[in-house]
């Protein structure tokens, strides 16, 4: 029966990869883009989960266990996890499917996520886990506290989520059409709300299948990832369960989806990015172990049970993401460093790159850990335009009011952050040509252009896992 986990995981991996579905981005957009649009997709998952799990429980198909609430562990763990996913560049499930896209930075984050979670659950850090979780309240779920049926919470949540989704969809419909990639429908990403519905349905199906295999739980990433590490180290076959099959299937499904759509390419990070991946992955494992789950186990499953653990953890994960975004998600600042016209950023790694014929700009400022080539790829031919703000120094003049911005190697949200920064320096009618290889940017950049009234004059794939978009300022 545990092989059903492999099948469910494969389907989940395809949906996550094609929907660019990552809770990190959903929480991050609240702080960076000042929008709750993508967060509604998470509410859709929770709502579908809540209705489905309530129905299965009422019918006696499943019997969920409800954890007692350990406030200190959940608050601190959730916050650390939020910080970690900013450093790692993706949440738990996001790190798995981005690893399947060839992001070596995500491989590193995933490794240290697995090791730190295993250490917290069965290894050297067990005393820390026991100490932090030693104080527990009698609280389990919000419905139990008020003596009400879970339906009194699931139905209002679903109605509220439906109204929010309708609001944002209507807002989208009123905006100029968002540019899409040319090519087959299969290569176009799923709408994030469609992906949310599918993830919710998969989560409902997962629970009885998992329970039938002896694991009374639904979707989960942290414990299965830790169990995979434990098995790898000591060969304990008892660690291999339905959840381990789920995460392995997730990787396999996401890999085949990325390969089939030309979105797979091995991309190697620089030392700074790798270091952040180690830190981020470690914080993810520690935080998720303390909080009792990650953005899937807590943010999707426990929230749908209306447990105190799930909702408090999600709130503090969001706060951690907000702090992390404030600290690290900023545009690079190009500065003139010598008379030769060579540029670098104030937070560069100290590598001084020059070109015999052209100026060189390295945009390595705040690239996150799953960057896939030395931070931002080197953009040659960069020139300083004294009549414009310093942001334009990042772009290479193509003449006739056109500029090229090379963000190859930069992961989301940095292609969008840098594009916005340079665009602010251009005049109406001028055009910015952006090269990028972050899959999430295939949706975020054209959406930003439409919302800001800019015109996308060209948008096409440029080899495997590479794209170019041209945006004329409105």
CA dihedral 260, 187, 363, 37 (to 10 degrees): -130
Q: Is 412 a catalytic residue?
A: yes
Token representation of residue 396:
């290479």
Q: According to the 3-state scheme, what is the secondary structure of the chain?
A: CCHHHHHHHHHHHHHHHHCCCCHHHHHHHHHHCCCCHHHHHHHHHHHHHHHHHHHHHHCCCCCCCCCCCCHHHHHHHHHHHHHHHHHHCCCHHHHHHHHCCCEHHHHHHHHHHHHHHHHHHCCCCHHHHHHHCCCCCCCCEHHHHHCCCCHHHHHHHHHHHHHHHHHHHHHHHHCCCCCCCCCCHHHCCCCHHHHHHHHHHHHHHHHHHHHHCCCCCCCCCHHHHHHHHHHHHHCCHHHCCHHHHHHHHHHHHHHHHHHHCCCCCCECCCHHHHHHHHHHHHHHHHHHHHHCCCCCHHHHHHHHCCEHHHHHHHHHHHHHHHHHHHHHCCCCCEEECCCCCCEEECCCCCCCCCCCCCCEECCCCCCCCCCCCCCCCCEECCCCCCCCCHHHHHCEEEECCEEEEECCCCCCCHHHHHHHHHHCCCCCCCEEEEEECCCCHHHHHHHHHHHCCCEEEEEEECCCCCEEEEEECC
- Identify the active-site residue in 22, 294, 412, 438: 412
Give the integer Cα–Cα distance in Å for 249 and 4. 10
Token pair, residue 7, equals: 């099948």
Q: What is the C-alpha separation between 369 and 269, in angstroms, rounded?
A: 7
User: How are strands ordered across the β-sheet holding 360-361?
Assistant: 334-336, 343-345, 360-361, 379-380
Q: Which residues are catalytic?
A: 412
């Amino acid at each position: 029966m545990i092989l059903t986990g492999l099948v469910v995981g494969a389907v989940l991996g395809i949906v996550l990869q094609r929907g660019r579905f990552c809770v990190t981005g959903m929480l991050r957009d609240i702080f960076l883009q000042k929008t709750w649009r993508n967060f509604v997709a998470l509410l859709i998952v929770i709502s579908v989960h809540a209705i489905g799990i309530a129905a299965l429980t009422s019918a006696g198909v499943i019997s969920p266990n409800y954890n007692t609430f350990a406030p200190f562990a959940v608050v601190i763990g959730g916050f650390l996890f939020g910080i970690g996913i900013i450093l790692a560049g993706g949440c738990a499930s996001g790190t798995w499917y981005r690893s399947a896209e060839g992001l070596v930075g995500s491989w590193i984050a995933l490794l240290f996520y697995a090791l730190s979670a295993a250490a917290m659950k069965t290894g050297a850090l067990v005393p820390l886990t026991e100490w932090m979780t030693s104080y527990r309240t009698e609280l389990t779920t919000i419905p139990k506290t008020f003596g009400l049926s879970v339906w009194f919470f699931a139905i209002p949540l679903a109605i509220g989520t439906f109204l929010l989704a309708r609001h944002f969809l209507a807002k989208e419909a009123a905006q100029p059409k968002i540019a899409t990639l040319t090519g087959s429908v299969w290569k176009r990403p799923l709408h994030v709300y469609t992906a949310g519905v599918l993830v919710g349905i998969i989560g409902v199906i997962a629970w009885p299948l998992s329970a039938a295999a002896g694991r009374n739980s639904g979707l989960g990433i942290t414990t299965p990832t830790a169990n995979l590490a434990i098995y790898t180290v000591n060969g304990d076959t008892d660690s291999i369960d339905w959840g381990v099959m789920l995460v392995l299937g997730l990787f396999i499904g996401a890999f085949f989806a990325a390969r089939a759509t030309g979105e797979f390419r091995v991309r190697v990070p620089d030392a700074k990015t790798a270091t952040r991946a180690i830190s981020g992955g470690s914080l993810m494992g520690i935080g998720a172990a303390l909080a009792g789950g990650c953005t899937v186990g807590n943010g999707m499953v426990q929230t749908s049970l209306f447990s105190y653990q799930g909702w408090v953890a999600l709130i503090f994960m969001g706060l951690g993401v907000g702090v992390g975004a404030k600290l690290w998600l900023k545009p690079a600042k190009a500065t003139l460093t010598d008379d030769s016209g060579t540029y670098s950023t104030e937070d560069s790694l100290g590598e001084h790159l020059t070109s015999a014929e052209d100026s060189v700009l390295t945009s390595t400022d705040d690239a996150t850990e799953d960057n896939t080539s030395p931070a931002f790829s080197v953009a040659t031919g960069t020139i300083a335009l004294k009549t414009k703000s310093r942001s334009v120094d990042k772009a290479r003049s193509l003449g006739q009011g056109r500029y090229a911005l090379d963000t190859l190697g930069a992961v989301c949200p940095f292609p969008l952050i840098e594009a916005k920064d340079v665009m602010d320096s251009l005049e109406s009618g001028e055009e910015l040509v952006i090269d990028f290889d972050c899959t999430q940017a295939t949706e975020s950049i054209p959406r930003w252009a439409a919302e800001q009234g800019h015109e996308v004059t060209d948008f096409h794939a440029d080899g495997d896992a590479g794209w170019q978009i041209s945006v004329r300022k409105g």
